[in-house]
Structure 1
Amino acid sequence: MTNFKLCLKLSTAVITCAITTSAFAQEAVPADQPTGGVQEIIVTAQKRSQNLQDVPLAISVVSGAQLESGNVNSAEQLFQKVPTLTFRKGNTNKDSALSIRGVGTISFASGVEPSVSTVIDGVVYARTGQQTSDFLDVDRIEVLRGPQGSLFGKNASAGVISIITREPSETPKGYFDAAYYEGNELRIRASASGPLANGLLGSLTGFFSRYDGNGRNVFNNHEVNGYKHWGVRGKLIAEPSDNVKIALIADFSKGNDNGYADSIGTVFSSAFNNAVFIPSLAPLTLNGKNKDIDNDLDPLTRDKNSGVSAQVDVDLGAATLTSITAYRHWYNYQQRDGDFRSDSPTYVNTGTAAGDVRSHDRGDLKFDQFTQELRIASSNPQFLEYVAGVYYYKTKEVDFFNRTVTSCTASTLPTVNGLTPCTAAASTFVTNEGNADFTTRLTSYSAFGQLTANFSDVFRGVAGLRHTNDKVGYDFARRSTSTAAFAGVNPAFASSGSIKDNGWSGNAGLQFDVNDDIMSYVSYTRGYKGPAINVFFNMLARDTGRIDPETSNAYEAGLKTRLFDRRLTLNLAAFYAKYNNYQANFLDLVAGQVVTRLTNAGTVSTRGVELDFNAQLTDDFSLNGGFNYTDAHINKFICPTGAAVTCADAINGKPLPFAPKYKGTVTADWRLPLEFEAFDINLNSSLVYQSRTQFDINQNPNAFQSAYAIWDAGITLRTKDQKYSVSLIAKNLTDKQFVTQRIPNGTSFMRQITPRDAERYFGVSGRVNF
C-alpha cells in the first residue's frame, strides 16, 4: 500500500507540473499568434470510429510519425513509446512474448496462445512471432490495456496491440526514404498511393533493412545479433456503390537473423565451471557487458510471413455490416548452440550433472491460420448503440525439432589436476540425438456483443458479453538414440489427443461526462483465455493433461480530460486484475540442463496507476508520454507435478517476470521559431525510464535487469512544402547498456541477450515525398 500511495503522489505531482507548465506556456503566447489545441485522435478500439477521449478504456496511441521520428521499427522497440508494455525477446522470433500491465504468456509450447493479442487491420495474429518483422506503412498503433474479452476474444486476456496501416490516398502521392546508422544498419522504404480507376484506390509499400549486429562470434569472427529483412504490402480500396466499401490487403515479408545470441554474462564458481567452462571461454570477457559468443554453431533464424485479407463494409443506414476474411502463413527456422562453447567436449565428465558435452539445436515450424469475423454496429447516435458479431478461428502448426548431443565418455590420456582431456585419437565420443515431430491444431468459434445505453447526454452504461468454444488437438512423436534421458533430451515418447472447453467473458461499466472536456468511467471485465496443452520437444506423459483455461476479474476507474483550451489531454486510469489458473512457463531440469514447462501456475494479480498525456504547449512545442506504476505479483504459485526444480512458497508475493514496477516515457517535439523562407527545423527528444525488472518466475537472484533510462534525440531539416527532409538521429545518448532477458542455466551461469538499442549510436535519414 505504501508504494501505491507513493505512486498516487507522483502522479499528482506530474499532473500539477504538466498543468502549470501548460498554463505558463499558454500565457507566453503573444495575443496575435494563432493558437491550437492537441489534435483529436480517432481510434477503433471498440470496432467503430470514436474520439479517443470518448472511449471508456485505457488506451495508448502511437502515431506512425512518432514511430518514424524515434526509429521505432518493430514490436521489439514499441516498449519505448508505451510504458505499460514490455517485450521479451527469445532466442528466435518464435519464442518472443509481449506483456501488458505485467501479464503475458511466455512459453515454448505450441499448444498455448498469447495473452496479448496482436491485430493488424482487423486481423488477429495468432502467434507473437508472426509480428516481429519491421512495421510497414503504419498510420497508428492502439494499445488497449487490460482484458478485452467482449470484442477481441480469448487471446486478449492481458490486452491488445491493434496496428492500423495507412489508407490509399485519393490523389497520387508517394515517398522514398532511406536511413543509415552506425553498425552498418541500412533502412529503405518506398510507397506509391492513389486512384487506379473510378471508385478504386490502391497503395503499394516495400521495405528493406539490414544490420550487421552488435556482437561477434570469436570462433569464426562472424558478426551476430544482426538481421536482413525485406517485405511488401499492397492495399486496394473499392467502393462499387455509395454504401459498399471493400478493402483487399496482401503482404509478404522475409527475414534472416543471425541472433539473438546467448552471450555469457556471468559464470558462477563450481567444479565444472572452474575446471572446464571458464578456461574454455577465455577469448571472452565474462562480465555484464559481454555481447560476444564462442560457438561452433552460429545462431540463425529465418522467417517468412505472408497473408491476404478482405474486409467488406456495407452501410445499411442505421447500422454497418462488416465482414473480415483472412488467411495467414508463417514459416520459421531456427538453430542455436546449446553448450555455448566452440571446443566441447574436451574433457571426460567431471562428475557434475552438466558434464562436458556439445549440444546443438535445430528446428522449424509451419503455421497456417484462417479467421472469419462478421459483425454489425449501429451507425447513428441513439439511445441504444450496439456492436454484435460472430468469430471463427482455425490454426495448424507443424513443428520439427532436433537436439544433437556429443559427449566424451572415455580417454586413455593421463589425468592432470583432476581433468582427463579428450582427443580424437585417444578418446571415445558418443553422439545421441532426439528428433520430435508434432502438430497442433486449434479451432475456436464465438459470439459476442456490446451495448451502450445513453441514459442522458452525459451519462451512459456499457455492457458486453462473449461466449467462446475451443478445441485443441495434437499429435506428437519423439525419437531418441538413447533409452535414457541425456543432456536436455527425454527418451522416446509418442502421444496424441485433444481437449475441449468453453467460457464466458464480458464487461460492464458506467461513463459520466463531468463537462465537455472531462469524462469519467468505471468498469468491470471478466477475462477468459482458452485451455492449452504443453506440446513441446521434451513432452512426456505428464504433459498430456489439460492446462485449464485462464480466467480473470479486472476493475478499472479512469478520467479522460482536455484542459487549457484543449492544449492538454491528460488521461488517468487506476486498475486491479486477478488471474486464476494463470498459464505460465516454469524452469525445470532434464539430465542437468534447463528446460521449460507450461503449467497452471496458480493465482497472480496486477494493480496500479497509469497516466497518459499530450500537451501542445505552444504552436511549435509539444510533449507527449506516459507513466505507470504496476504491482504485478504472484499470489499463490502451484508447483507442477514431478518438477525437478524446487518451487516453494517463497515465491508467493514476488513479482511476475518482465513486470517493472515503475516505467515512464516522455517525448518532446519543437519546431524552432526561426524565420527561414525555404525550410523548417524540428528538434525531438525522448526519455524512457524503467525500474528494476525480474526475468525469472522462480526469482533467481541473478535473473534481473537493474533500473535504467534511455535518452534519444534528433534534428530534422524539412522544406516548407514538406517535400524534402533530412534528419540526424542519436540513440541512447548516455550509452546505457541493458538486456531484455537473463536466463539462469542451473546454478552455474546466466545468459544475456542484448538488444540493438543497448548502446549509443548515430544515424542519418532522408525522405522525399512526391
Structure 2
Amino acid sequence: MTTTYKLALTLSTTMVMALIAGPVHAQEAPTETDAPFASTDIIVTAQKRAQNLQDVPVAISVVSGDMLERSNVNSAEQLFQRVPTLTFRKGNTNKDSALSIRGVGTISFSSGVEPSVSTVIDGVVYARTGQQTSDFLDVERIEVLRGPQGSLFGKNASAGVINIITREPENELGGYIDASWYEGNEYRIRGSIGGPLGDGVSASLTGFWSQFDGNGRNLFNGNKVNGYEHWGVRGKLIAEPTDTVKITLIADYSKNSDNGFADSIGTVFPSAFNNAVLIPSLAPLTLDGKNKDIDNDLDPYTKDKNSGLSGQIDVDLGAATLTSITAYRHWYNFQVRDGDFRSDSPTNVNTGTAAGDFLLHDLGDLKFDQFTQELRIASANPQFLEYVAGLYYYHTKEVDYFNRVVTTCTASTLPTVGGLTPCAPGSSTYVTNRGDADFTTKLTSYSAFGQLTANFTDALRGIAGLRYTEDKVAFDFARISTSTAAFPGVNPAFSASGSVKDNGWSGNAGLQYDVSDDVMAYGMYTRGYKGPALNVFFNMLARDTGGIAPEKADAYEVGLKTRLFDRRLTLNIAAFYAKYDNYQANFLDLVAGQVVTRLTNAGEVSTRGIEVDFNAAITDDLSLSGGFNYTDAHINKFICPAGAAITCADAINGKPLPFAPKYKGTVTMDWRLPLNIDGFNVDLNSSLVYQSKTNFDINQNPNAFQNAYAIWDAGIKVSTDDNKYSLSFIVKNLTNKQFVIQRIPNGTSFMRQITPRDAERYFGVTARMNF
C-alpha cells in the first residue's frame, strides 16, 4: 500500500468518524466566532451593480476564492471541476483552448473569431481565452453567468460569462504568505500585502510562483512533459479623494512556460501504413487510452506573457453612479510542436505503403493587443425605474507568424524490404519544404446598451434590455511556400487582405416575481449576438476571405431562487432552452493528407436542460454546496463547408455537440470537526465531481470520447484560533481515476489525447501565515 493511499484512507476514515460524531456537535450552541460555515448572503455584480445573488433573475454559479484555494483549483482549465455547466477544451497551446457553457463554445485556431464565453476580470473583458489561462491570483469570487448575456456583457458572451473579482485591500495593514508542495514535484508560493497608504488611499501587492515537472515523459530524450513554470504579480490601488469618488488602478504581469500539453497517442487503428511504419516507430510507447508519454524528436513548448493596466472611476451622483473603465492588455504567445508525433520520421521512401512517412514541425508566435473603454451609469436602488446604461468601445490587433517544416525521403539506395524502401543519411535523398505565414487581424467594435427594471409592485418586476453592436474585422495575410503544390499540412502560396462588417441587436425581456420574502421566480427571453468572423489561419485560401456570418441565439429561461429552513438552505433551479443560428465552429479538413481545422458557419445547434445549485448550512460548523445539471446540446442541422475534404455526412445532424456531457454534478462538504482542541481548529473538506460520457469531435468520431467518471478529493486543515497559522493536507483524485480532457482524431489513422494533472491520485500540503 502506497503512502498516498494510506493518507487517502486516513482522510476518508476521519470523514466517516466525523459524520458519526456530527449530530452531537450539532446540538451545541456555537458562538458567532465558532460558526465558520453559517449561512450568509452572497453578493454578486452580474448586472453591473452589487446585488444579492437571490435577487438576480439570471442563472449564476458562484465559487469563492477560499473554495478554490482549499481544492487546489488554480486556473480556468480546472474551474470546470466546481461549475457543473462549464467545460474546458485544452488545446496543444493556450491560444487554442476554449470554454463552453451549457455545451456551447467557440473552438477555433483562427485569429479572426472571438470566444462565445466572455471572461471578465475586475470589469475588463479578456478578448481571447488564451489570455486568462494563467494561475488565479487573489480571487475574491468567480461568478459564472449561464446562457447569453447580450444586454450588459455584449457580443462575445453569447454562451455566458465568467466574471472574476479579485480581493480589495483591507482597511488595516496585513497580508499572507503560503507555500505548497504536491507529489510529482509541484510547488506553489503565494503572497500578498496590503492596507492603507494614507488618508483615503489603500493598496495591495500580490504575487505567485508555481512549478510542476509534468505527468508524462518524452521517451526520445527522457524529458518530462505536461509540466509548467508560472509566475505573476498584481498591484491594486484604491483612492477615495472624496466621499463620492472612488478610483481603482490595477496593473498585472504574468509569465507562463509550459512543456506541454503534449499530444499523446492513444489508439492506433490498423492500416497498411500504421502496421508497417507507425506502430513499429511508436514501439517504446504503450498505445492505449491511459498513455501520457510521447516519443518526439521535438519537445512541446509554449510560452505566454500577459500584462495589463486598467483604471476604474466611480462617481456617486446621488440618484445614480457613473462608472468609467479604461483598460489596455497585451498578450504574447510562442509555441513549438512536433506534428508527426514520432522521433524517427522519415524512415522510408514516401511512396506506396510508406506514403505519409514525413517529419512535420510547427513553430508560431502571436502578439495581441487590446484596448477597451466602458462608460456606464446605474441608478441608485430602490426606485420604480432602475436602470443601467452605457457605451462600449473595443479594439484588438493580433499579429501572427507561423512556420511549418515538412521533410520527406524521396529516394534511397538501400534495398527494399517487405515493400518498404528504408532511408538513412548518406544513402538517401531528403527533401524539405516549408511554409511561412504572416498575418494581422484587427477587430473594432462599438456598442450602446441599456437595461431597465420596472418595480410594478413590491413583488413584481419587469426587466427589459437592449444592446446595439457594430463590428468590423480586417486582415492582411501572406503565406509563402517552397512548393507550388500543396504538401502535408501546407497549402501553396497565397496572399490577401480584406474586411467584413456587420451589426446586430441583442437584449433580454422578462418578469420577476417574489412569491415570498425567500422565494423568487423569474422568466426571461434573451437574444444573443456574436459578431462576424474571418477564417484567418495558416492554411487560409481565397474561400476563407468571404467572412463567417454572425452567430445569433434565441434563449429562454425560467427559474426559481429559494431560501428555506430559516435561510439555512439556498436552492436555485433553472430550466433553459437556446437555439443558435449560424453557429461558428471548427470542421476537420485535409491538406495533402494532413488533418487541419477550418472555421465555418456550422448551421443550427440547440441546447436545453435543467440546472440546480444549492448551499446548505447543516449546522453552523457544517455546510454542503454544489450543483447538478442535465444538458442536451446537439446539432440540429449541420452545413457542410464548401470543398470539404473529409466526408460531411447527414449523420452529424441530431448528434451531441462536443464538450457537452449530458449529466454533471458537484458536491462539496466543509466541516469544522468537534475535537475541542484548545487553541486550534480542525476543518475537514471533501468534494465529489461526476461527469457523464463526453464527446470531443463535432464530426462524431466514435473513438473521440471520454467515458463517465467521478473524482473525489479530500483535505484537512489545522489552524490556530486566530487563523494566523494553518497547515492543510489534501488528496486529489482519491480513487486514482484516469481520464482525458481531449481526444483528437488524426484522420482515420490514430487518436491523440491530452491528460490533465488531476487524472491521477496525488497528495499535497500547504503551510500558510496570515499577518
Q: What TM-score do you get using the length of structure 1 for normalisation?
A: 0.96
Aligned residue number for residue 634 of structure 1: 635
- Quickly say closer, same or farther: Cα 1:478–1:51, change in 2 above 3 A: same
1:570 and 2:580 correspond = no
Alpha-carbon distance in structure 2 between the residues aligned to 1:445 and 1:27? 61
Aligned residue number for residue 73 of structure 2: 72
- Counterparts in 2 of 1:168-187, with a 5 A limit? 168-187=169-188
Alpha-carbon distance in structure 2 between the residues aligned to 1:753 and 1:79? 16
SS of aligned partner of 1:686: strand
- Counterparts in 2 of 1:505-516, with a 5 A limit? 505-516=506-517
Alpha-carbon distance in structure 2 between the residues aligned to 1:118 and 1:409? 49
Aligned residue number for residue 151 of structure 1: 152
Q: Which amino acid aligns with 1:274?
A: N
Alpha-carbon distance in structure 2 between the residues aligned to 1:767 and 1:193? 17
Aligned residue number for residue 405 of structure 2: 404
Aligned residue number for residue 655 of structure 1: 656
What is the deviation of 1:644?
0.3
Aligned residue number for residue 30 of structure 1: 27
Cα distance per residue 1:300-352 (max 9 Å; x no partner): 00000000000000000000000000000000000000000010001012425
Alpha-carbon distance in structure 2 between the residues aligned to 1:291 and 1:27? 47
What is the deviation of 1:520?
0.3
1:691 and 2:692 correspond = yes
Aligned residue number for residue 436 of structure 1: 437
Contact 2:25–2:674 (Cα < 8 Å) also in 1 = no
Contact 1:305–1:331 (Cα < 8 Å) also in 2 = yes
Alpha-carbon distance in structure 2 between the residues aligned to 1:717 and 1:387? 45
Alpha-carbon distance in structure 1 between the residues aligned to 2:693 and 2:60? 24
Contact 1:354–1:592 (Cα < 8 Å) also in 2 = no
Aligned residue number for residue 534 of structure 1: 535
SS of aligned partner of 1:617: strand
What is the deviation of 1:30?
3.0
Aligned residue number for residue 561 of structure 2: 560
Aligned residue number for residue 643 of structure 1: 644
Aligned residue number for residue 11 of structure 1: none
Pick which of 31-40 and 143-152 moved more: 31-40
Q: Which amino acid aligns with 1:693?
A: T
Cα distance per residue 1:23-67 (max 9 Å; x no partner): xx9999437556975211000000000000000000000000000
SS of aligned partner of 2:619: coil
Q: Which amino acid aligns with 2:389?
A: A
Aligned residue number for residue 214 of structure 1: 215
Residues paired across the two proteins, number: 748
- Counterparts in 2 of 1:318-397, with a 5 A limit? 318-351=319-352, 355-397=356-398
Q: Which amino acid aligns with 1:439?
A: T
What is the deviation of 1:478?
0.2
Q: Which amino acid aligns with 2:743?
A: R
Cα distance per residue 1:385-425 (max 9 Å; x no partner): 00000000000000000000000011111111111100111
What is the deviation of 1:619?
1.1
Q: Which amino acid aligns with 2:762?
A: Y
SS of aligned partner of 1:406: strand
Alpha-carbon distance in structure 2 between the residues aligned to 1:735 and 1:381? 52
SS of aligned partner of 2:80: helix
SS of aligned partner of 1:533: coil
Aligned residue number for residue 274 of structure 2: 273
Aligned residue number for residue 747 of structure 2: 746
Q: Which amino acid aligns with 1:82?
A: V
What is the deviation of 1:554?
0.1
Alpha-carbon distance in structure 1 between the residues aligned to 2:543 and 2:27? 73
Pick which of 228-237 and 675-684 moved more: 675-684
- Counterparts in 2 of 1:583-598, with a 5 A limit? 583-598=584-599
SS of aligned partner of 2:567: coil
Aligned residue number for residue 99 of structure 1: 100
What is the deviation of 1:674?
1.5
Q: Which amino acid aligns with 1:731?
A: K
Q: Which amino acid aligns with 1:30?
A: Q
Alpha-carbon distance in structure 2 between the residues aligned to 1:29 and 1:254? 47
Alpha-carbon distance in structure 2 between the residues aligned to 1:648 and 1:622? 50
- Quickly say closer, same or farther: Cα 1:381–1:354, change in 2 above 3 A: farther
Aligned residue number for residue 728 of structure 2: 727
Aligned residue number for residue 6 of structure 1: none
Pick which of 640-649 and 603-612 moved more: 640-649
Alpha-carbon distance in structure 2 between the residues aligned to 1:243 and 1:563? 38
Aligned residue number for residue 498 of structure 1: 499
What is the deviation of 1:462?
0.3
Aligned residue number for residue 15 of structure 1: none
Alpha-carbon distance in structure 1 between the residues aligned to 2:584 and 2:23? 50
Q: Which amino acid aligns with 1:42?
A: I
Q: Which amino acid aligns with 2:208?
A: F
Cα distance per residue 1:432-471 (max 9 Å; x no partner): 0000000000000100000000001000000000000000
- Counterparts in 2 of 1:663-702, with a 5 A limit? 663-702=664-703
Aligned residue number for residue 200 of structure 1: 201
Alpha-carbon distance in structure 2 between the residues aligned to 1:713 and 1:551? 42
SS of aligned partner of 1:278: helix
Q: Give the percent of matched residue pairs that are identical in Structure 1 and Structure 2.
A: 80
Aligned residue number for residue 18 of structure 1: none
Aligned residue number for residue 762 of structure 1: 763
- Quickly say closer, same or farther: Cα 1:93–1:515, change in 2 above 3 A: same
Cα distance per residue 1:595-634 (max 9 Å; x no partner): 0000000000000000000000011110000000000000
What is the deviation of 1:669?
0.5
Aligned residue number for residue 425 of structure 2: 424
Alpha-carbon distance in structure 2 between the residues aligned to 1:189 and 1:130? 21
Contact 2:353–2:419 (Cα < 8 Å) also in 1 = no
What is the deviation of 1:678?
1.1
Root mean square deviation, CA, Å: 1.3
Cα distance per residue 1:162-204 (max 9 Å; x no partner): 0000001110010000000011000000100100111100000
What is the deviation of 1:648?
1.5
Alpha-carbon distance in structure 1 between the residues aligned to 2:509 and 2:693? 35
Aligned residue number for residue 13 of structure 2: none
Q: Which amino acid aligns with 1:639?
A: C
Contact 1:64–1:138 (Cα < 8 Å) also in 2 = yes
What is the deviation of 1:380?
2.6
Alpha-carbon distance in structure 2 between the residues aligned to 1:530 and 1:353? 45
Q: Which amino acid aligns with 1:726?
A: L
Contact 2:438–2:477 (Cα < 8 Å) also in 1 = yes
Alpha-carbon distance in structure 1 between the residues aligned to 2:379 and 2:23? 40
Q: Which amino acid aligns with 2:81?
A: Q
- What stretches of structure 2 of length at least 5 have no aligned partner? 1-18
Alpha-carbon distance in structure 2 between the residues aligned to 1:276 and 1:625? 49
Q: Which amino acid aligns with 1:226?
A: G
Aligned residue number for residue 601 of structure 1: 602
SS of aligned partner of 1:296: coil
Q: What TM-score do you get using the length of structure 2 for normalisation?
A: 0.96
Alpha-carbon distance in structure 1 between the residues aligned to 2:559 and 2:81? 23
Contact 1:192–1:204 (Cα < 8 Å) also in 2 = yes
Q: Which amino acid aligns with 2:329?
A: R
Cα distance per residue 1:547-592 (max 9 Å; x no partner): 0000000000000000001110000000000000000000001111
Q: Which amino acid aligns with 1:75?
A: A
